[in-house]
């Protein structure tokens, strides 16, 4: 694949998530809402697929994954990582609360399936796998195949940020217009900031570390509720969900 055509890969995760949830719903003979709490496991599996795809397209372009995302050893300072991690946490959480207020009129609002309990063993394993694989997959795709290859400055930020945000609308896949809008508004501010920052600095590492941290926080809630259903009920009441 020609490097200039890598941007055509940007919608692929959205498509895959829709197909996986639809197929999964058919296989287990349950409604989409009944399998929504498995979003984190699905995300990790799609992450592995995405990473494999990025490795393949990198090889076809006679380059490496590190070169695809413009990773350069020794160029990142601790202060950069800390600052960007704080920004990601604040903007990420703030975006979700604001979107919850816009769509549901509730602050704080949290979609219940996002912290719903799953199998305990899977919750432990996924708590380790999802943060790392998500950073490698999502940032590799949207920064490496989006921001890095789209020459127009504005399009090089807006287009990857749009698809970066869009994929979250289908994690999990629920054909509920309000939920899809809630997810889109939740992540749009953060993805624009990440793409803008990467466009200026061309350094993926602080973004990837901050990204992994916020995802670790997310799956930690799932780990906690998986071991304590009572904690899940309490969180639902506190978050008004």
The ranges assigned to domains in the chain are 3-238
For the whole model, what pTM was predicted? 0.93
Cα 115 from Cα 39, distance rounded (Å): 10
Percent of the chain past pLDDT 90, that is, above it, reads: 84
Could you report the per-residue pLDDT of 73-123, keeping only the tens digit for each? 888 899 999 999 999 999 999 999 999 999 998 887 878 889 899 999 999
Query: Tens digit of pLDDT for each residue in 136-173?
Result: 999 999 999 999 999 999 999 999 999 999 999 999 99
CB 113, CB 193: distance < 8 Å: no
C-alpha distances in Å from residue 234, one per residue of 93, 115, 160: 19, 12, 37
Closest CA to 147 of 135, 161, 136: 161
pLDDT band at 240 (very low <50, low <70, confident <90, very high): low
């Amino acid at each position: 694949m020609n490097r200039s055509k890598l941007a055509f890969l940007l919608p692929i995760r959205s498509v895959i998530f829709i197909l996986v949830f639809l197929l999964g719903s058919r296989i287990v003979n349950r409604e989409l809402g009944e399998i929504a709490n498995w979003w984190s496991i699905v995300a990790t599996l799609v992450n592995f697929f995405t990473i494999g795809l990025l490795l393949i397209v990198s090889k076809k372009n006679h380059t490496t994954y590190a070169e695809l995302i413009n990773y350069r050893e020794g160029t990142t300072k601790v202060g950069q990582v800390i600052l960007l991690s704080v920004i990601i946490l604040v903007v990420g959480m703030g975006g979700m609360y604001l979107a919850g207020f816009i769509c549901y009129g509730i602050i704080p609002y949290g979609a219940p399936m996002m912290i719903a309990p799953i199998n305990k063993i899977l919750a432990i394993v996924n708590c380790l796998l999802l943060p790392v694989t998500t950073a490698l997959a999502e940032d590799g795709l949207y920064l490496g195949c989006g921001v890095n290859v789209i020459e127009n400055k504005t399009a090089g930020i807006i287009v990857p940020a749009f698809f970066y945000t869009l994929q979250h609308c289908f994690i999990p896949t629920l054909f509920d217009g309000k939920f899809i809008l809630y997810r889109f508004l939740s992540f749009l501010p953060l993805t624009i900031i990440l793409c803008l920052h990467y466009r200026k600095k061309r350094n993926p590492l602080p973004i990837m570390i901050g990204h992994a941290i916020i995802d670790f926080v997310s799956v930690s809630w799932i780990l906690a509720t998986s071991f304590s259903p009572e904690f899940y009920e309490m969180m639902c009441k506190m978050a008004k969900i």
